[in-house]
Chain A
Amino acid sequence: MSAVLILVDHVGGVVPRSVGELATFGKRIGEVTAVICSSQSAALIPQLSSFAINTVIVCDGVEFEKYSVGATAQGLSQVVAKVNPTAVLITSSARGKEIAGRLAVRCDSGLITDAIDIDSTLTATQSVFGGSTTVHSLVGHGTPIVTLRSNSIEVEVGSGTPTVENFSVTFDGADKAVVTSVEPAVKGGRPELTEASIVVSGGRGTDGNFAPVEELADILGAAVGASRAATDAGWYPHSHQVGQTGKTVSPQLYVASGISGAIQHRAGMQTSKTIVAINKDPEAPIFDVADFGVVGDLFAVLPQASAALKEIQ
Chain B
Amino acid sequence: MKIAVCVKQVPDSWAEKKMGSDGLLDRAGVDAVLNDLDEYAVEEALKIVEANSPTNEAGEGSGHTITVISMGPERASEAVRKALSMGADDAIVITDPALVGSDALATSAVLAAAIRDGGYDLVICGTESTDARMSVVPAMLAERLGFAQLTFAGSVMVNGATISIARQTEFGVEQMSAPLPVVLSVVEKINEPRYPSFKGIMAAKKKIIAIKTLSDIGVSVQSAWSGVKDSAVRPPRGAGIKIVDEGDGGKKLVAFLQERRIV
Could you list which residues of chain A lie within 8 angstroms of chain B, going by C-beta atoms? 11, 68-70, 73, 93-95, 97-102, 104-106, 108-114, 123, 128-129, 131-142, 144, 174-186, 194, 198, 220, 232, 238-239, 244-245, 247, 252-253, 263-264, 274-276, 278, 282, 287, 289-297, 300-309, 312
Give CA–CA (A308, B142) in the complex, Å. 54
Q: How many angstroms between the C-alpha atoms of A287 and B242 in the bound complex?
A: 8
Contact between chains at B249 and A129 (CB < 8 Å): no
> How many A-B pairs fall under 8 Å by CB?
265
Q: Is the Cβ of A178 less than 8 Å from the Cβ of B176?
A: yes
> A132 and B176: CB pair below 8 A?
no
Q: Which residue of A lies closest to B178 (CB)?
A: A177
CA distance A141 to B109 in the complex (A): 15
A177-B150, A293-B240, A301-B253 given as contacts; is B13 within 8 A of A245 (CB)? no
Contact between A136 and B250, CB atoms less than 8 A apart: no
Is there an interface contact between A278 and B249, defined as CB atoms closer than 8 Å? yes
Cα distance, A176 to B169, chains bound together (Å): 19
B154 CB, nearest partner CB in chain A, Å:
8
Within 8 A of A (CB), among B138-166: 138-140, 142-144, 146, 148-152, 164
Question: CA separation between A183 and B175, bound complex, in Å?
Answer: 8
Q: Do residues B252 and A140 form an inter-chain contact, with CB atoms below 8 A?
A: no
A227 to B25, CA, bound (A): 28
Main SS class of interface, B: mixed
Smallest Cβ distance from A77 to chain B, in angstroms? 10
The smallest beta-carbon distance between A20 and chain B, in angstroms, is: 18
Q: Evaluate contact between A139 and B225: CB separation under 8 angstroms.
A: yes
**Which A residue sits closest to B188, measured CB to CB?**
A245
| In the assembled complex, B47 has its CB within 8 A of some CB on chain A | no
- CB-CB under 8 A for A295 and B234, given A141-B226, A181-B175, A244-B128: no
Complex alpha-carbon distance, A70 and B108, angstroms: 16
B3-60 residues with Cβ-Cβ distance < 8 A to A are 13-14, 16-19, 37
Question: Cβ of A282 and Cβ of B244 under 8 Å apart?
Answer: yes
Known: A138-B226, A296-B249. A179 touches B134 (CB 8 A): no
Give the chain A neighbours of B19 by CB distance below 8 A.
Answer: 133, 135
Q: How far is the CB of A205 from chain B (nearest CB, A)?
A: 14
A183 touches B172 (CB 8 A): yes
Interface pair A293/B178, CB less than 8 Å apart = no
Q: A174-B146, A309-B254 are in contact. Are A294 and B226 (CB under 8 A)?
A: no
Chain A, interface SS category: mixed
| A253 → B minimal CB distance (Å) | 5
Give the Cβ gap from B100 to chain A, nearest Cβ, in Å.
Answer: 16
Q: How far does the Cβ of B34 sit from chain A's closest Cβ, in whole Å?
A: 16
A170 to chain B, nearest CB (A): 16
Residue of A nearest to B187 (CB): A245
- Please give the distance in Å from A276's CB to the nearest CB on chain B: 6
A110 and B240 within 8 A (CB)? no
B22 to chain A, nearest CB (A): 13
**A–B Cβ pairs within 8 angstroms, 17 of them:** A70-B149, A102-B142, A111-B225, A113-B134, A114-B134, A133-B232, A138-B226, A141-B226, A175-B142, A239-B170, A244-B133, A274-B260, A289-B240, A295-B243, A296-B249, A300-B245, A308-B251
**Contact pattern, B 236-263, Cβ under 8 Å of A = 1, otherwise 0:** 1100111111011111111011101011
Residue pair B108, A294 in contact (C-beta under 8 Å): no
Given A129-B17, A137-B227, A295-B245: A300 and B140 within 8 A (CB)?
no
Task: Tell which of B170, B177, B189, B226 touches A140, judged by Cβ atoms closer than 8 Å.
Answer: B226
